[in-house]
Amino acid sequence: MNFTDKNVLITGGTTGIGLATAKAFITAGADVWITGRNAENLEKATSEISSSKLKTIVSDTSKLEEISILENAIAESGNKLDVLFLNAGIATFSPIGETTEADFDAQFNTNVKGAYFTLQKLLPHLADGSSVLFTSSTVATATNRGASVYSATKGALNKIAQIAANELAERKIRVNIVSPGPTETPGFDKATGGESKDIFAAATALQRMGSPDEIAKTVLFLASDDASFITGTELLVDGGYIGYALK
């Protein structure tokens, strides 16, 4: 797939799926912006990618004032975005009886409010015919124990994306959802507390974890002209995930 001279923005692009997708877009010829919550992580990503096609900006998607900083940076660049990948997200797992208000708010602020208002603020900066993608998760429809808040955020995100697909259709902007299953990322390790990956691998039909590169390839497909008649769709990239119930 060729993204030469295309402008791509990836939120949460310093590690895992976001980082892998940034690399893939750059390899395909795109100019890529990535965001992260702190300069140190962005510097690490810059060093790892090592490309003049990469630009970075510190922006915490859970804070509206930092979304505005991101919007201003895109506006000042003078370029319209051809791809917006709303990837930033966090997860904390706990039973309903033990979930704190702080954990609830942190997940909804990042996963839902952050994605919603990033899309809203960047609407004027999207090229007609561009592509918007949301990172959701198989947990949006699964019923894993301990995942009530995280699952709720992803379910909300899916509905936002589906409605956005209808609202933006008149501008020929396609909106789609990528829902990974268990994927080997630093965020997955942090969220699961180092629980054996063999257990999660065993919950997939393919009997293994996914890789960030595999998710990135799916994102590029949906963003490309090869997917020109696909919008409002959730694509599961989960190896046939069965739905292991976290204990």
Contact predicate 26/51, CB 8 Å: yes
Is the Cα torsion angle 91, 93, 97, 99 positive or negative in sign?
negative
Alpha helices in the chain (DSSP H): 16-27, 39-49, 64-77, 101-108, 115-122, 148-167, 186-192, 197-202, 212-223
- What token pair was written down for 176? 């789609």
End-to-end CA distance of the chain: 41
| Number of residues that this document lists for the chain | 247
- In angstroms, the CA 189 to CA 183 distance is 9
Contact predicate 56/69, CB 8 Å: no
Question: In this structure, which long-range contacts are made by residues 49-55, counting pairs with CB atoms below 8 Å and at least 24 apart in sequence?
Answer: 49/19, 49/22, 49/23, 51/26, 53/26, 54/22, 54/26, 55/31
Annotation marks residue 150 as catalytic: yes
Q: Catalytic: which of 116, 150, 241, 244? A: 150
Give me the active site residues, please: 150
